[in-house]
Amino acid sequence: MKQHPAVLALIAAAVVTALSQAQSAANLSGEWKMNPGKSDFGGVPAPELITRSIKYADPTLEISTHQKGAQGETTSELKYTTDGKECVNKMPGGEAKGTAKWQGGNLVIQSVRNFQGTEVKSSETWALSEGGKVLTIASHISLPGRDSDLKLVFEKQ
């Protein structure tokens, strides 16, 4: 039986839509704690503790991060939508503009901010593994004349 090209196109579109919805349904929500032994700070001293509380209801992503280290303690609150639209977050010392979108099964967050007169660009790729119990965030940070790569590994609490 010969299929009409329009029918095949509709079936292909339905499959692509179903796959993209399945990929965007990753369960990021929860309480996460960094595993310093599995993380790599690229030569920069690791903080003592990083915890993240993540709330995700497609497309809304809310991230609360608490960090404790030699520089003291900080907490940040970030909000994105995973549809690729630009979001503005208030940060110490200014604003950060960024986007978040699904690429395959990974979430990619790109942001840019001005910190003490220097433009800082960041690209993060979030990947879940071990049945959604491990969140690995590979970060590439660009400063004028210097790039750094970090890997943060979080375990769901």
Higher pLDDT, 103 or 11: 103
Question: Band of the pLDDT at 20, cuts 50, 70, 90?
Answer: very low
**Can you give the pLDDT at residue 26?**
86
Question: Which class would CATH give 26-156?
Answer: mainly beta
All structural domains of the chain with their residue ranges = 26-156
> Which one, of 133, 141, 123, 109, lies nearest residue 42 by Cα?
141
